[in-house]
């Protein structure tokens, strides 16, 4: 069902004409931040996904913003991990929602990271290729300047504390592999409680599920959000304004539906979002290539941020390839 929802929503993002949507407001601060180097999962192809080690390395390399995913433990603690289960990236098994924070803290979040370019989290290599395995548990010494805790599954609280001045994009995940909408809403409510009193204007909360975004905004209206798939579809198809609190659209570059490849992050879509005072942050779909050639095209389109798995490499490109002067006026 979730995949069908995404397909239908992305199918709408093909440049259909729509009536103008109400403006988000000329003071949208995310339009003043260009072009953001957004480290997706902390740069999961360069460093172990969603670890403090990854976040520290990418920020030191020049990344402007961290992108991370959150799940909620059985004792309602928020941890940073992309999947609903711990199987793919750690030495554990099972769902986050079925484990306590203490159990999560005992895991090695660098256990399956390898330099394999085809799959950085392959479970098929010999133990010698997993260069960070055992650092979290004290079996091996951490790299100079880091500690064992940097290779464990972090809590959201620890990330916010470690990076008080770095903008952070927080994606709300579900609780099981079935990913029922109610699971996203539950996690959004826990996140809203966690961020109460955070007093930060550099956070964006997003989820594929629009009800989770809406519920979060209801509870924490001072923190900006990005629409879920149905919210984006409504903006494109019907010309309706996205839900209250929206500051950015976060969309793929291209998407394949059947045999047709749609240009989602098109010049028209970017221009329209800017005209209506929304930022545009792009992420890479299955057919997109996360490389310098693509990054340069996105910069020339005047996107406001690029969510990349290679933030260290992207930073080099952004230093040599500047946005056109016309982008500043949009």
From 3.20.20.190, 3.40.640.10, 1.10.150.120, 3.40.50.620, which CATH number describes the 2-85+154-329 domain?
Answer: 3.20.20.190
Query: Tokens for 316?
Result: 């080099």
Phi/psi at 36 (nearest 5 deg)? -70, 130
Phi/psi at 203 (nearest 5 deg)? -115, 145
Cα of 246 vs its chain's centroid, Å? 16
Residues 6+ apart with CB under 8 A from 127: 133
Ordered per-residue pLDDT tens for the chain, 330 residues: 444 444 445 444 444 444 444 445 558 999 988 899 999 999 999 999 999 999 999 999 999 999 999 999 999 999 999 999 999 999 999 999 999 999 999 999 999 999 888 899 999 999 999 999 999 999 999 999 999 999 999 999 999 999 999 999 999 999 998 779 999 999 999 999 999 989 999 999 999 999 999 999 999 999 999 999 888 777 766 778 899 999 999 998 987 778 888 788 999 999 999 999 999 999 998 899 999 999 999 999 999 999 999 999 999 999 999 999 889 876
Closest by CA to 108, choosing from 133, 131, 127, is 133
Cα of 113 vs its chain's centroid, Å? 19
Among left, alpha and beta (phi > 0; psi -120 to 50; other), residue 221 is alpha
Closest by CA to 220, choosing from 200, 195, 199, 242, is 195
Domain ranges of the chain: 2-85+154-329
Model's pTM, two decimal places?
0.92
């Amino acid at each position: 069902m979730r995949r069908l929802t995404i397909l239908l929503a992305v199918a709408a993002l093909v440049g259909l004409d729509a009536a103008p949507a109400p403006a988000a407001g000329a003071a949208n601060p995310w339009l003043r931040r260009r072009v953001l180097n957004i480290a997706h999962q902390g740069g999961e192809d360069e460093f172990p996904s969603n670890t403090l080690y990854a976040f520290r390395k990418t920020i030191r390399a020049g990344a402007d913003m961290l992108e991370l995913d959150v799940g909620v433990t059985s004792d309602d603690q928020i941890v940073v991990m992309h999947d609903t289960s711990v199987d793919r990236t750690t030495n554990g098994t099972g769902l986050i929602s079925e484990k306590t924070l203490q159990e999560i803290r005992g895991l090695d979040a660098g256990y399956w990271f390898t330099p394999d370019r085809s799959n950085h989290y392959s479970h098929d290599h010999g133990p010698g290729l997993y260069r960070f395995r055992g650092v979290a548990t004290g079996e091996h010494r951490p790299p100079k300047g880091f500690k064992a805790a940097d290779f464990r599954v972090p809590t959201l609280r620890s990330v916010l504390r470690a990076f008080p001045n770095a903008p952070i994009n927080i994606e709300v995940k579900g609780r099981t592999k079935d990913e029922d909408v109610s699971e996203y809403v539950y996690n959004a409510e826990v996140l809203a409680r966690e961020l109460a009193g955070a007093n930060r204007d550099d956070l964006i909360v997003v989820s594929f599920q629009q009800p989770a975004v809406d519920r979060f905004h209801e509870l924490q209206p001072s923190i900006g959000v990005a629409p879920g798939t149905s919210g984006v579809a409504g903006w494109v198809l019907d010309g309706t304004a996205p839900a209250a609190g929206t500051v950015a659209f976060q969309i793929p570059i291209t998407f394949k539906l059947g045999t047709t490849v749609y240009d989602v992050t098109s010049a028209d879509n970017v221009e329209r979002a800017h005209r209506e005072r929304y930022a545009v942050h792009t992420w890479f779909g299955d057919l997109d290539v996360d490389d310098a050639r693509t990054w340069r095209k996105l910069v020339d389109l005047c996107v406001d941020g690029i969510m990349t798995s290679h933030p260290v490499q992207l930073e080099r490109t952004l230093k040599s390839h500047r946005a056109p002067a016309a982008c500043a006026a949009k």
